[in-house]
Amino acid sequence: MELTHTQEKRIVTFGWITASAGLFLGQLHALSRFETESGESDLELPLTKAWAVPAARALRPLLDWGDPDSVYWNYGKIWFPIFTAMTLCAWLVFRHRRPAGFERWVWRITLAGYSLLTLSTVGDYYTPWTDLSFMVLGMPGLALTALGSTALGVLLLKRGYRPRILGLALVAFIPCFLLITEITSMGNIILPIMFAWTYAASRSHSLPRLSAQLGVRATT
Protein backbone atom coordinates (compact mmCIF):
# COMPACT_ATOMS: atom_id res chain seq x y z
CA MET A 1 0.00 0.00 0.00
CA GLU A 2 1.55 3.27 -1.14
CA LEU A 3 0.76 6.50 0.65
CA THR A 4 0.93 9.98 -0.78
CA HIS A 5 2.97 12.71 0.86
CA THR A 6 -0.28 14.31 2.04
CA GLN A 7 -1.52 11.06 3.62
CA GLU A 8 1.76 10.58 5.46
CA LYS A 9 1.59 14.17 6.68
CA ARG A 10 -1.90 13.55 8.03
CA ILE A 11 -0.67 10.51 9.99
CA VAL A 12 2.15 12.54 11.52
CA THR A 13 -0.21 15.43 12.35
CA PHE A 14 -2.68 12.97 13.89
CA GLY A 15 0.18 11.59 15.98
CA TRP A 16 1.29 14.98 17.30
CA ILE A 17 -2.26 16.05 18.13
CA THR A 18 -3.22 12.87 19.99
CA ALA A 19 0.13 12.57 21.79
CA SER A 20 -0.13 16.15 23.02
CA ALA A 21 -3.77 15.71 24.04
CA GLY A 22 -2.84 12.52 25.88
CA LEU A 23 -0.57 14.42 28.26
CA PHE A 24 -3.64 16.09 29.78
CA LEU A 25 -6.49 13.73 28.92
CA GLY A 26 -4.51 10.70 30.06
CA GLN A 27 -4.12 12.21 33.52
CA LEU A 28 -7.78 13.22 33.56
CA HIS A 29 -8.65 9.61 32.84
CA ALA A 30 -6.36 8.52 35.66
CA LEU A 31 -8.05 10.96 38.06
CA SER A 32 -11.45 9.61 37.07
CA ARG A 33 -10.20 6.08 37.79
CA PHE A 34 -9.08 7.07 41.28
CA GLU A 35 -12.67 8.19 41.92
CA THR A 36 -14.02 4.67 41.29
CA GLU A 37 -14.22 1.95 43.91
CA SER A 38 -11.65 -0.21 42.12
CA GLY A 39 -9.23 2.69 41.69
CA GLU A 40 -9.29 4.12 45.20
CA SER A 41 -6.48 1.82 46.30
CA ASP A 42 -4.15 3.47 43.76
CA LEU A 43 -4.12 6.56 45.98
CA GLU A 44 -2.24 4.55 48.57
CA LEU A 45 0.84 4.87 46.34
CA PRO A 46 2.81 7.92 47.61
CA LEU A 47 3.77 9.24 44.16
CA THR A 48 0.20 8.92 42.92
CA LYS A 49 -1.31 10.59 45.95
CA ALA A 50 1.16 13.50 45.79
CA TRP A 51 -0.23 14.80 42.49
CA ALA A 52 -3.67 13.20 42.22
CA VAL A 53 -5.26 14.67 45.35
CA PRO A 54 -4.52 18.36 44.55
CA ALA A 55 -5.21 17.80 40.84
CA ALA A 56 -8.60 16.22 41.55
CA ARG A 57 -9.47 19.15 43.78
CA ALA A 58 -8.53 21.68 41.08
CA LEU A 59 -10.30 19.80 38.28
CA ARG A 60 -13.38 18.79 40.27
CA PRO A 61 -15.93 20.11 37.68
CA LEU A 62 -14.39 17.75 35.08
CA LEU A 63 -14.85 14.76 37.37
CA ASP A 64 -18.27 15.38 38.89
CA TRP A 65 -20.49 15.50 35.81
CA GLY A 66 -21.61 11.88 36.30
CA ASP A 67 -21.21 8.88 38.56
CA PRO A 68 -17.53 7.82 38.95
CA ASP A 69 -17.76 4.67 36.84
CA SER A 70 -19.50 6.47 33.98
CA VAL A 71 -16.96 9.33 34.02
CA TYR A 72 -14.07 6.85 34.01
CA TRP A 73 -15.57 4.76 31.23
CA ASN A 74 -16.25 7.77 29.01
CA TYR A 75 -12.84 9.36 29.49
CA GLY A 76 -11.35 5.98 28.62
CA LYS A 77 -12.57 6.44 25.06
CA ILE A 78 -9.66 8.83 24.47
CA TRP A 79 -7.24 5.90 24.28
CA PHE A 80 -8.57 4.49 21.02
CA PRO A 81 -7.48 7.46 18.84
CA ILE A 82 -4.24 7.75 20.82
CA PHE A 83 -3.29 4.09 20.36
CA THR A 84 -4.42 4.21 16.74
CA ALA A 85 -2.18 7.19 16.04
CA MET A 86 0.82 5.49 17.66
CA THR A 87 0.28 2.32 15.64
CA LEU A 88 -0.01 4.31 12.40
CA CYS A 89 3.16 6.28 13.13
CA ALA A 90 5.07 3.07 13.92
CA TRP A 91 3.76 1.53 10.70
CA LEU A 92 4.87 4.59 8.74
CA VAL A 93 8.40 4.29 10.13
CA PHE A 94 8.35 0.58 9.29
CA ARG A 95 7.39 1.32 5.68
CA HIS A 96 10.22 3.77 5.21
CA ARG A 97 12.80 1.57 6.91
CA ARG A 98 11.90 -1.56 4.93
CA PRO A 99 13.65 -3.97 7.32
CA ALA A 100 14.67 -7.49 6.36
CA GLY A 101 15.54 -10.73 8.10
CA PHE A 102 15.32 -10.96 11.88
CA GLU A 103 14.58 -7.26 12.28
CA ARG A 104 11.50 -7.61 10.10
CA TRP A 105 10.10 -10.27 12.44
CA VAL A 106 10.75 -8.06 15.46
CA TRP A 107 8.86 -5.26 13.73
CA ARG A 108 5.94 -7.63 13.11
CA ILE A 109 5.81 -8.63 16.79
CA THR A 110 5.90 -4.98 17.85
CA LEU A 111 3.20 -3.87 15.42
CA ALA A 112 1.05 -6.87 16.38
CA GLY A 113 1.31 -5.81 20.03
CA TYR A 114 0.32 -2.25 19.21
CA SER A 115 -2.60 -3.45 17.10
CA LEU A 116 -3.91 -5.72 19.87
CA LEU A 117 -3.66 -2.90 22.39
CA THR A 118 -5.56 -0.62 20.03
CA LEU A 119 -8.33 -3.21 19.62
CA SER A 120 -8.34 -3.68 23.39
CA THR A 121 -9.18 0.00 23.92
CA VAL A 122 -12.30 -0.53 21.79
CA GLY A 123 -13.41 -3.51 23.85
CA ASP A 124 -12.43 -1.84 27.13
CA TYR A 125 -14.29 1.44 26.67
CA TYR A 126 -16.74 1.07 23.77
CA THR A 127 -18.37 -2.23 24.71
CA PRO A 128 -19.74 -3.76 27.94
CA TRP A 129 -17.10 -6.52 27.81
CA THR A 130 -14.31 -4.54 29.47
CA ASP A 131 -12.75 -7.32 31.54
CA LEU A 132 -12.96 -9.88 28.73
CA SER A 133 -11.38 -7.46 26.26
CA PHE A 134 -8.49 -6.71 28.58
CA MET A 135 -7.80 -10.39 29.20
CA VAL A 136 -8.14 -11.56 25.59
CA LEU A 137 -6.63 -8.55 23.78
CA GLY A 138 -5.02 -6.24 26.30
CA MET A 139 -2.81 -8.70 28.17
CA PRO A 140 -1.37 -10.42 25.06
CA GLY A 141 -0.99 -7.02 23.41
CA LEU A 142 0.92 -5.68 26.41
CA ALA A 143 3.20 -8.72 26.47
CA LEU A 144 3.98 -8.44 22.75
CA THR A 145 4.48 -4.69 23.10
CA ALA A 146 6.96 -5.08 25.96
CA LEU A 147 8.87 -7.87 24.20
CA GLY A 148 8.78 -6.38 20.71
CA SER A 149 9.49 -2.77 21.70
CA THR A 150 12.48 -3.72 23.84
CA ALA A 151 13.99 -6.01 21.21
CA LEU A 152 13.34 -3.51 18.42
CA GLY A 153 14.89 -0.70 20.44
CA VAL A 154 18.06 -2.75 20.97
CA LEU A 155 18.27 -3.54 17.25
CA LEU A 156 17.71 0.07 16.18
CA LEU A 157 20.39 1.34 18.57
CA LYS A 158 22.82 -1.38 17.51
CA ARG A 159 22.29 -0.58 13.83
CA GLY A 160 22.61 3.16 14.26
CA TYR A 161 19.05 4.13 13.43
CA ARG A 162 18.26 7.84 13.59
CA PRO A 163 16.58 9.51 15.40
CA ARG A 164 18.29 7.75 18.27
CA ILE A 165 15.55 8.82 20.69
CA LEU A 166 13.26 6.14 19.23
CA GLY A 167 15.59 3.29 20.12
CA LEU A 168 16.20 4.72 23.59
CA ALA A 169 12.48 5.15 24.27
CA LEU A 170 11.72 1.59 23.13
CA VAL A 171 14.49 0.08 25.26
CA ALA A 172 13.18 2.02 28.26
CA PHE A 173 9.59 0.78 27.79
CA ILE A 174 9.60 -1.73 30.65
CA PRO A 175 11.35 0.57 33.20
CA CYS A 176 8.97 3.36 32.19
CA PHE A 177 6.03 1.00 32.60
CA LEU A 178 7.06 0.27 36.20
CA LEU A 179 7.61 3.95 36.99
CA ILE A 180 4.49 5.33 35.28
CA THR A 181 2.16 2.81 36.91
CA GLU A 182 3.48 4.01 40.29
CA ILE A 183 2.35 7.54 39.40
CA THR A 184 -0.67 7.38 37.12
CA SER A 185 -2.92 4.96 35.22
CA MET A 186 -1.70 2.21 32.91
CA GLY A 187 -2.83 3.81 29.64
CA ASN A 188 -0.21 6.52 30.11
CA ILE A 189 2.62 4.00 29.67
CA ILE A 190 2.53 4.51 25.91
CA LEU A 191 2.98 8.29 25.94
CA PRO A 192 6.83 8.24 25.99
CA ILE A 193 7.07 5.84 23.06
CA MET A 194 4.20 7.57 21.30
CA PHE A 195 6.11 10.85 21.19
CA ALA A 196 9.19 8.96 20.01
CA TRP A 197 7.26 7.18 17.25
CA THR A 198 5.61 10.40 16.14
CA TYR A 199 8.96 12.20 15.96
CA ALA A 200 10.51 9.29 14.05
CA ALA A 201 7.52 9.23 11.67
CA SER A 202 7.88 12.97 11.05
CA ARG A 203 11.55 12.43 10.21
CA SER A 204 10.78 9.46 7.96
CA HIS A 205 8.08 11.49 6.25
CA SER A 206 10.26 14.55 5.59
CA LEU A 207 13.62 12.98 4.69
CA PRO A 208 12.65 11.44 1.29
CA ARG A 209 11.20 14.76 0.15
CA LEU A 210 14.24 16.65 1.43
CA SER A 211 16.57 14.21 -0.34
CA ALA A 212 14.61 14.66 -3.56
CA GLN A 213 14.82 18.44 -3.26
CA LEU A 214 18.56 18.30 -2.63
CA GLY A 215 18.95 16.01 -5.61
CA VAL A 216 17.11 18.44 -7.84
CA ARG A 217 19.21 21.33 -6.59
CA ALA A 218 22.40 19.39 -7.15
CA THR A 219 21.55 18.85 -10.79
CA THR A 220 20.42 22.42 -11.56
Asked if residue 120 is part of any domain, the answer here is: yes
Please give the biggest Cα pair distance in the chain: 69
- The backbone torsions φ and ψ at residue 196, rounded to the nearest 5 degrees and listed phi first, read -65, -45
Assigned domain for 173 exists: yes
Considering the domain boundaries, does residue 98 fall inside one? yes
Instruction: Report the sign of the C-alpha dihedral through residues 199, 144, 122, 134, in that order.
Output: negative
Q: Of 30, 22, 25, 24, give the one whose Cα is nearest residue 185.
A: 30
Residue numbers of the domain that contains 50: 5-212
pTM: 0.89
Looking at the 3D structure of the chain, how many domains does it have? Answer: 1
- Residue 9 domain flag: yes
Q: What pLDDT does 4 receive?
A: 87
In a domain, 122, yes or no: yes
Residue pLDDT tens, the chain, 220 long: 678 889 999 999 999 999 999 999 999 999 999 999 988 889 999 999 999 999 999 999 999 999 999 999 999 999 999 999 999 999 999 999 999 999 999 999 999 999 999 999 999 999 999 999 999 999 999 999 999 999 999 999 999 999 999 999 999 999 999 999 999 999 999 999 999 999 999 998 665 443 334 343 332 2
3-class DSSP state for residue 129?
A: coil
Would you put residue 107 in left (φ > 0), alpha (ψ -120 to 50) or beta?
Answer: alpha
